[in-house]
Amino acid sequence: MIAEESLKVLVDQVKPCLGFGAVSNYLPELSRARSDELAVAIDLGASGVITAGDHTAKFTLQSVVKVFTLLLALHQCGKDDVFKR
């Protein structure tokens, strides 16, 4: 699949940059996170899911989950109700 190969190429290009940052240590779970792991998964609906990188590794979601919570709130309540707060 061309899309999956392209995604793998992108992850391989970005992975050497992982050493430029530091793992946050203000939460215990974050302090245990591996700084050398990177994964991407894209759900293509009926066409399946494509993955690249360390996609079988377990990792903590922490603030990433906020995006999904916002999407759920937007879906259930609408943007006017969500953003008036």
pLDDT (average), residues 65-71: 92
Q: Is-contact 66 39, C-beta < 8 A? A: no
Residue 30 tokens read as: 């974050």
Which of 15, 4, 2 has the alpha carbon at shortest distance from 51? Answer: 4
- pLDDT band (50, 70, 90) for residue 48: very high
Count of CA atoms in the C-beta half-sphere (13 A) of 73 = 13
Compute the mean pLDDT over every residue in the chain, rounded to the nearest whole number: 90
pTM over 0.95: no
Amino acid at 81: D
Q: What is the pLDDT of residues 31-40, one digit of tens each?
A: 888 888 999 9
Amino acid at 78: G
Q: Is the pLDDT of residue 53 over 80?
A: yes
pLDDT (average), residues 13-17: 94
